[in-house]
């Protein structure tokens, strides 16, 4: 293997690692930590960025459904003064939504890593 191939492989690995890490200002929490945080919901909001059919199949009580494709346009209607918790099925779409909101000036953002797959609490089906 020549040095150019090694450098390219290292750059690719570094790029992938940085893409998976949450950006500054976005905290990653577990589903269990979300459950604890939501025991006192005042000053907090939970946004479920899954598609409507996924949301209707089972969501956390009080979660607002804003599908990932609508987060950009809906951002102006989301209060910036609250702690904002984002959840999806696995944590990938919610991380993407957190990046979008961060660019829109949101500061207290929490991505639920593991998403609904890790949620052990009560769910509402509608």
Q: Which of 94, 36, 85 is nearest to 63 (CA)?
A: 85
Catalytic residue IDs? 88
Helix, strand, or coil (residue 45): strand
CB-based contacts of 33, cutoff 8 Å, min separation 6: none
């Amino acid at each position: 293997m020549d040095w150019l191939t090694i450098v390219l492989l290292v750059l690719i690995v570094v790029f992938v690692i940085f893409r998976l890490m949450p950006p500054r200002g976005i905290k990653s929490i577990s589903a269990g930590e979300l459950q604890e945080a939501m025991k006192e919901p005042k000053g907090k909001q939970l946004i479920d960025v899954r598609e409507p059919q996924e949301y209707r199949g089972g969501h956390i009580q009080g979660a607002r459904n804003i599908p990932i494709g609508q987060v950009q346009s809906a951002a102006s209607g989301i209060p910036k003064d609250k702690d904002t918790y984002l959840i999806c099925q696995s944590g990938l779409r919610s991380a993407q939504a957190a990046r979008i909101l961060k660019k829109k000036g949101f500061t207290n953002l929490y991505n639920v890593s593991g998403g609904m797959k890790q949620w052990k609490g009560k769910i509402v089906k509608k």
